[in-house]
Chains A and B, each alone.
Chain A
Amino acid sequence: MSVTEMFSYIQGFLSADQDVREDIRKVVQTLEQTAREILTVLQSVHQPSGFKEIPNKCAKARELFCTVRTQIAELKTKFPVEQYYRFHEHWRFVLQRLAFLAAFVVYLESESLVTREEVAQILGIEVVREKGFHLDVEDYLAGVLIMASELSRLAVNSVTAGDYNRPLRISNFINELDSGFRLLNLKNDPLRKRYDGLKYDVKKIEEVVYDLSIRGLAKEPEAAGEK
């Protein structure tokens, strides 16, 4: 094979690769759009009026997740399934956002931590790599960490809205999450950086809880007050 032939073979490979990436980028853009819409819906829980409408908002968000499922199904058709990690960085960001949104919806509904299986189910994808387009464990954990900072905001705003019990529950939840994350041996990677932010969320919520208990606003201060 001559040098020229070799290079034109490689060039053929590279431009095919670029085409695939172009296709993926287009679908990911629509996915990002939907993710933003869901976020907008959920953001209204921070409004004083939004607290009464939480189930309502969650139902709306759940509806939008249907769109997500069809969009992800489309994304799956754009590349061979065993090359997931070759193009991973194209959808990593949006998948983390979606994991966060799913986790947030589930928290608002049931005040519990979403499992990885549930997120995968909400997004219409697999849990294990062997079965196809899946949710990487690091992306799931990143999504959970985004939710933690959202919850610290929610704690502040729920006090403003006059809901003094929610911060205590959030505090319990975040503490549990924190002890969970402390089990992990993280490398010096983006996930680790994000995890380092968790302590500030914990601190923020503790301050809110402190403020409430010192003023006697919390009904059961012994539940989470001194944590």
Chain B
Amino acid sequence: MNKRESEGCSRRNADAAQEHDLSANPPSSVVAAFKVFQQELDTKHDKYERLVKISRDVTIESKRTIFLLHRVTTVPDAEDILNEADVKLDGVRQKIGQIAEELRGEDIYQFHRAFTPGIQEYVEAVSFLHYIRHRNLISLEEINARLVFMKTEKADPKGSAEAMPLGAQVLTFQVTPSDYLLGVADLTGELMRMCISSVGNGDIDTPFQLSQFLRQIHDGFSYIGNTGPYEVSKKLHTLRQSLGKVEDACYTLRVRGSEIPKHMLADVFSSRTTLIDPEEGVV
């Protein structure tokens, strides 16, 4: 609304200015040229806004999926929850299909900033689901393989830009390695939460599995170090904290496990996490 109003307003001003110019010096090629620029810029901005909107939807739905997955305990309905999450993620993929549609024939990096938050959140959700099912890390290829739209044909896995003109029916979306990396960094936070809550549920195997997995991811991030994008180093700090919490949990399980009845361990953890939590304010 607002935009349209201001648009109309500026156009009126411009028209007035143009008439003024016309009286001064008849052929105003400048104004004609700027009309073209106006159109070009508007088209670009509109596309950008549409992408931001879709990206926000992707973020919200992915977040909800993650919350849903946190409800998984070892109770028998786990499979139901996982299937429900799958359905939700299918919806998210449809949305990403819309992004791919918008980006058809465009340079994906021109609009990358518009949709990167959504994609990172999607990577987080999809890798969380994958971990709960298979207990390992989803690879970038596996994620990208599921982001082929319209037809199930396998598209050229290298760069969506080349793949698109091949067949109009096949539309692919490629998660960039940096988006993948940042999504995985967020995943570790979810795994930490899962670890703490699984202790609360009396599950004492999961924390050990998780701490091992988190350690592997941590080693991976240390290996990448500062060659990655700037955000990675920021997330590495949070990752260290998550790892510390999980390792502490495992430590306590070992030390106290023999002394205290299992159902009482939850109290020990809730007090430990409150001890650690205030540090998060520093980040």
B18 CB-CB contact with A under 8 Å: yes
A200 CB-CB contact with B under 8 Å: no
B213 CB-CB contact with A under 8 Å: yes
A6-B3 CB under 8 A given contacts A129-B107, A182-B14, A183-B38? no
**Interface of B, helix, strand, loop or mixed by DSSP:** helix
Contact with A along B78-117 (1 / 0, CB 8 A): 0000000000000000000000000000010110100000
CA distance A116 to B217 in the complex (A): 49
Q: Are A10 and B34 in contact (CB under 8 A)?
A: no
B40 in complex: contacting residue of A6, A14, A137, CB < 8 Å: A137
Q: How large is the interface on A (under 10, 10 to 19, 20 to 34, 35 or more residues)?
A: 35 or more
Could you name 25 residue pairs across A and B whose Cβ atoms are closer than 8 Å?
Answer: A3-B217, A3-B219, A6-B140, A6-B220, A7-B220, A11-B223, A14-B228, A83-B109, A84-B107, A84-B109, A85-B110, A113-B33, A137-B37, A176-B28, A179-B18, A179-B21, A179-B31, A182-B13, A183-B35, A185-B3, A185-B38, A185-B42, A185-B45, A186-B41, A223-B24
**Closest Cβ of chain B: how far from A35's Cβ, in Å?**
23
**Closest Cβ of chain B: how far from A196's Cβ, in Å?**
14
Q: Are B140 and A185 in contact (CB under 8 A)?
A: no
CA distance A18 to B21 in the complex (A): 50
A138 CB-CB contact with B under 8 Å: yes
Q: Are A187 and B221 in contact (CB under 8 A)?
A: no
A14-B177 CB under 8 A given contacts A138-B41, A185-B41? yes
B7 in complex: contacting residue of A137, A180, A185, CB < 8 Å: A185
Which B residues touch A13, using CB under 8 A?
177
**Closest Cβ of chain A: how far from B235's Cβ, in Å?**
14
B69 CB-CB contact with A under 8 Å: no
* Count of chain B residues with a beta carbon within 8 Å of a chain A beta carbon: 52
CA distance A179 to B185 in the complex (A): 49
A4 CB-CB contact with B under 8 Å: yes
Residue of A with least CB distance to B33: A115
Contact with B along A124-164 (1 / 0, CB 8 A): 00000100000001100100000000000000000000000
Residue of A with least CB distance to B25: A172
Within 8 A of B (CB), among A1-45: 1-4, 6-11, 13-15, 18
